[in-house]
């Protein structure tokens, strides 16, 4: 089995008095340890997520990441273990930021651990 990515799970709370739907096409960014700017991130939500007023909802963020290295000289593939692959892909990430352009909502997501 080859690792083709990771799925992050977050629990978000809506503290407002209005229902809020996180759109499936939420603009996603990562915040790197060493940068003071956000960097676009190609992760995807499974679908839109409704967070009713004063409630919590669990959401899933999927991130494609190949854990396979192809060696041109030998034609061999090697698979990195999940922890190494996770560290290689997300070791410098502090968290994610989602921006909902339609409602001007910002969602800060702290970096989970493996």
Q: Quick: pLDDT tens for 39-89.
A: 999 999 989 999 999 999 999 999 988 888 777 888 777 888 888 888 888
- Of the pLDDT bands very low, low, confident and very high (cuts 50, 70, 90), residue 1 is very low
φ/ψ of residue 86, rounded to 5: -60, -45
Coil, strand or helix at 26: coil
């Amino acid at each position: 089995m080859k690792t083709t990515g990771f799925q992050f799970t977050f629990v978000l709370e809506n503290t407002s008095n209005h229902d809020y739907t996180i759109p499936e096409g939420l603009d996603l960014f990562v915040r790197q340890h060493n940068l003071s700017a956000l960097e676009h991130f190609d992760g995807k939500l499974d679908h839109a997520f409704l967070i009713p007023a004063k409630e919590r909802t669990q959401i899933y963020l999927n991130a494609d990441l190949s854990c396979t290295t192809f060696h041109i000289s030998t034609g061999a593939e090697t698979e990195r273990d999940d922890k190494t692959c996770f560290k290689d892909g997300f070791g410098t990430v502090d968290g994610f930021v989602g921006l909902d352009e339609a409602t001007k909502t910002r969602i800060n997501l702290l970096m989970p651990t493996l």
